[in-house]
Structure 1
Amino acid sequence: MCTVASFVISAFFKHILGASMNMCDDEHNSTHIKMILPLTFKTVDGSWGNWLDWGACSVTCGGGTRSRSRLCNNPSPSNGGEHCQGSNVNNQNCNSNECKTFVNGFLLSDDSRTWASAKAACEAISARLVIFDSQQEIDGIMTAFNIQSFDHWIGISCTAGTNCMRVDGLAASSGFQAWAPNEPNWADCVYIGMSKKLWDDTYCGESRPYICEQI
């Protein structure tokens, strides 16, 4: 039970300490004191963290955009602090190079990539790494693009020089072949360029231009 004296003491502590205090007798007539101190927290304004990596460009040629983002977590706002000012997204132009056009259904790249990246680049434009059907087709590409020799990835991959497969899922041995002497030998990815226009296997991680064909 709270008495008049209890309220007087409580008022005193609130005035002196800025605290809320209860002083009452419980049901067993023992006096207890409960003091509630006010809690104060420091206000923290938010600050931007580092920019994350750039995303992929929206196109492979002709001019596109890419973006990156950042988080308001260095530190995050708390206890009523201000949120970070400005945008959390940054955009940038990319791949402004002119788009090359297909000639007679083929496209010779003007950039160099690994075999896997070249395969993906062809697929991104609804094409595939080239699968040659004849020597006449090879000669026709050289004429159409006015080149004297190749050094380009084609659509064949192997396993340590064996079990070579075309990107259409068929065995390389099921169709036209133009291997250089004693090839394939030891590696996993195939390019045309040995002795100007013969095939050879090499490391897939090498950077080379490539040939796409429409499908």
Structure 2
Amino acid sequence: VNGNWADWAQWGSCSLTCNSGTGSRSRSRTCTNPAPANNGIDCVGSGTETGSCTVTTPCPIDGEWGSWSAWNCSRTCGNGVKTRSRDCDNPAPQHGGADCPGNNTDSDSCWAGTCYPSALGNLDKNCTASSFGCKTGSVDCVDIDKKCDGAVDCTDGSDEDPKVAGCTPTCNGADGEPCVTQSPFG
């Protein structure tokens, strides 16, 4: 009895799983319909076949971190916490790709310099050594050179107040000229 090929099996998976392009796949058949017997001739031809396959599914792209932002300290003086952040956008995950590993924020302690008291003697204003802490109002600190300079820079006027800023009133003459406040340091 001469051998004869059985039907082809289903095509196997494509060699490409994603990305646009052409890959290859194969299928096989067996010489069993019937199998050769009693000195019969084996099946003629190949038991495997290779064909092309087309894939249009985009490949997953895993996310990668972008650059860290600049550090930002929570205080303008004294001890604080500095933070920075980054985005998962270099590239962003696409087509089912994994998110970026790790955290998008980072923090550490920071020292922003010595705190100097505001006009009320508290350190809550966080004014630096080269600034004056206003007593109240929407402006917290002004440059130290603006204290007692004759111009109101603090919204409450405390930078020109002798009792708060330590300015000493002086008059330029006895002929009724207005008094000008002046710093005791200058």
One fold, TM greater than 0.5?
no
TM-score (normalised: structure 2): 0.44
The two structures have a TM-score, normalised by structure 1, of 0.39
